[in-house]
Amino acid sequence: MLKSILYNDSCKKHFKGGVTLFLKKLSVNKLISIDYYSNGSLKTIKGRVYKLDLIKQSLLLKDETHQPFTIQLSGIRQIY
């Protein structure tokens, strides 16, 4: 089920190594940067992963000021 939710053509293009690398980067407990699309524009946020909701297909981060922030998984372009 997890593969069907996260693995699509955009995953192949943007995440070398596919779903495994994608989930590995999300599971690390350190600051990560994510490039994502929101309302047609590319944005970047830095933060720690707080929650991964596969039902809603969203990622909840806490940024550097500990404010919660939600990103749709389909909008994620790159994680570093």
Residues of the chain whose pLDDT is less than 70?
Answer: 1-25, 27
Domain of 63, in residue numbers: 2-79
d(C-alpha 49, C-alpha 62), whole Å: 7
User: For position 6, what pLDDT does the model report?
Assistant: 43
CB 21 within 8 A of CB 15: yes
Q: Domain with 39 in it: what CATH number?
A: 2.30.30.520
Dihedral sign, Cα of residue 70, residue 30, residue 55, residue 66: negative
User: For position 18, what pLDDT does the model report?
Assistant: 56
Dihedral sign, Cα of residue 71, residue 73, residue 78, residue 80: positive
**Domain count along the chain:** 1
pTM for this one?
Answer: 0.66
